[in-house]
Amino acid sequence: MSESKQMAGIRSTQLFEQAQEHIPGGVNSPVRAFRAVGGGPLFISSAKAAEITDADGRTYIDYVASWGPMILGHAHPEVIAAIQKAAALGTSYGAPTELEVEFAKEIKSALPSIEKIRLVSSGTEAVMSAIRLARGFTGRDKIVKFVGCYHGHSDALLAKAGSGIATFGLPDCPGVPAETVKHTLTLPFNDITALEVLFKEMGSEIAAIVLEPIAGNMGCVLPKSGFLEKLREVTSASGSLLIFDEVITGFRLGRGGVQALYNIKPDLTCLGKIIGGGLPVGAFGGRRDIMDHLAPIGPVYQAGTLSGNPLAVTAGLTVLRILRDESIYKKLESQTAKLVAATNDAAKSAGIPISINSIGSIFTCFFTDKKVVDWDSAKTSDTTRFAKFFRAMLAEGVYMAPSQFEVGFLSIAHSDEILEKTAIAAKKAFETLA
């Protein structure tokens, strides 16, 4: 193991010390602090294609991809040029633009379930607004979410789990009043029986089910056969809405997201990450009759000073237009399959039990011998072993998400050469665990 990259370098360490003086925990989003894996975070100074460079001038192969947006790789020349050109025209007007119309059309052409769409500035805002709209539209308060699914940090969606079939949500987080989450019901992912029991009991009171139709925030977890179909069935039967949170999966698993892969039509869809092309954009959209409940034509209020920001929309639109080329997704899928195969081989020859879930260009290597189908099975992972693996990979120049319960992302810049380097690193990293 090359000692030089074993932990954060001198400059990153100094910056982290300073940051902790001025910023809670030294970071502007908690997972960045590396607390699940130990050691201080790398401070990043630049990124290009599949690699990022830290403040100490060390370069790493990047599988975080800004948590998903960088599907074309970092600093893609066409995207950067478009942003530069847009910046010269002014960075924000607080008034409508032609760009927003183009952007709405582009998204609608990829996701036919979206008849109208509204832009916001983050995934959190998108899901929060979709929930308000669903409640306003149905006149019902209760919502259903699944344990292990993340939908941003708005109050109502921070409720996680209780055990049993449907536990009335208890706040996971101080500062979230119990009253705020008492209408949030949680169910285990992939549990069709629990879903049926809940809807039989109180389906007529439920405004919406919201879920990541392929989960990415407990690591990658796929819906089991019939699960999404059953969600569509019970919501339709009870007059509840089905909301797909495709903030990760939208434009990542093909242009049409999970809804195209599984041929399920949600009532509302939330987007973020890729659609901003690396700038802050979120969106929610869906059935016209529902979307028309939004102000100014309907009674449900929702607004944003920087919503539809021309710089952000330009970045997103440039990326989405490049992604019209469906061969990109085929390539991403085959590159990911190579990486998964190499990782499985490396783990096997080192005798380390792992269970990899993967689809399209996302993957999670769970350190467990169990099949991971929900939060409970994800939790069987040996997180200490994961942390050791993470540090060994970092030492070999590979930057992965600093938590067992995240997905890794490939970009079109992850070439065969990059994958081969990763495979060699993984082989060494697994050997340190044996």
Give yes or no for residue 122 binding ligand PLP (CB under 6 A). Answer: yes
Q: Which part of the chain contacts ligand PLP (CB under 6 A), choosing from 122-130, 261-269, 343-351, 380-388?
A: 122-130
Q: Which range touches ligand PLP (CB under 6 A), out of 145-153, 194-202, 333-341, 393-401?
A: 145-153
**Closest CB to ligand PLP among residues 124, 190:** 124
Catalytic residue, candidates 273, 329, 382, 399: 273
Show the beta-strand stretches assigned E in 38-162: 44-48, 51-54, 59-62, 116-120, 142-146
Sites for ligand PLP among residues 199-218 (CB under 6 A): 212, 216-217
Burial state string for 294-315 with b = 16 or more CB within 10 A and e = fewer than 16: beeebebebebebbbbbbbbbb
Residue whose CB is less far from ligand PLP, 73 or 282:
282
Based on the residue annotation, tell me whether 245 is a catalytic residue of this protein: yes
Told to check if 150 binds ligand PLP by CB under 6 A, we report: yes
Q: Is 406 in the site for ligand PLP (CB under 6 A)?
A: no
For ligand PLP, which stretch binds (CB under 6 A), given 132-140, 147-155, 302-310, 377-385?
147-155
Stretch near ligand PLP under the rule CB under 6 A, chosen from 95-103, 243-251, 259-267, 324-332: 243-251
152 binds ligand PLP (CB under 6 A): yes
Query: Binding to ligand PLP (CB under 6 A): which residues in 272-331?
Result: 272, 282
Nearer to ligand PLP, 119 or 418 (CB): 119
Please, which residue, 210 or 346, has the CB nearer to ligand PLP? 210
Rounded-to-integer distance, Cα 3 and Cα 391, Å: 11
Q: Which of 248, 312, 328, 394 binds ligand PLP (CB under 6 A)?
A: 248
Cβ(257)–Cβ(250) under 8 Å? Answer: yes
Supply the minimum distance, in Å, between the C-beta of residue 352 and ligand PLP: 28
Phi, psi at 119, each rounded to 5°: -95, 145
Which of positions 20-59 make contact with ligand PLP (CB under 6 A)?
A: none
Residue type at 170 in one-letter notation:
L
**250 Cβ contact list (under 8 Å, min separation 6):** 111, 257, 269, 271, 272, 273, 274, 275
Q: Which is nearer to ligand PLP, 71 or 127 (CB)?
A: 127
Q: How far is the CB of 127 from ligand PLP (least distance, A)?
A: 6
CA distance 69 to 62: 12
Catalytic entry in 54, 191, 245, 374: 245
> What's the CA gap between 183 and 102, in Å, rounded?
37
Contacts 24+ apart (CB under 8 A), 104-110: 104/285, 106/317, 106/320, 106/321, 107/271, 107/275, 107/283, 107/285, 107/320, 108/285, 110/251, 110/255, 110/256, 110/257, 110/320
Single out the segment in contact with ligand PLP by CB under 6 A; choices: 69-77, 79-87, 148-156, 381-389: 148-156
Residue type, 177: P
Choice between 40 and 280, CB closer to ligand PLP: 280
**Which window, 118-126, 224-232, 252-260, 351-359, contacts ligand PLP (CB under 6 A)?**
118-126
Among 19, 127, 220, 378, binds ligand PLP (CB under 6 A): 127
Say which residues have a Cβ less than 8 Å from residue 370's Cβ, sequence separation at least 6.
Answer: 355, 377, 380
In the set 40, 73, 123, 254, which binds ligand PLP (CB under 6 A)?
123
* 151 scored as a contact of ligand PLP (CB under 6 A): yes
Contact 211, 231 (CB under 8 A): yes
Find the catalytic residue in 60, 63, 150, 399. Answer: 150
* Rg of the Cα atoms in the chain: 21
Number of residues that bind ligand PLP (CB under 6 A): 15
CA-nearest of 124, 406, 125, 103 to 275 is 103
Residue with nearest beta carbon to ligand PLP: 123
Q: Tell me how far the alpha carbon of residue 328 is from its chain's centroid.
A: 20
The strand order across the sheet containing 44-48 reads: 44-48, 51-54, 59-62, 398-399
Rounded distance, CA 429 to CA 431, Å?
Answer: 5
| Catalytic positions | 150, 245, 273
Residues at the interface with ligand PLP (CB under 6 A)? 122-124, 127, 150-152, 212, 216-217, 245, 247-248, 272, 282
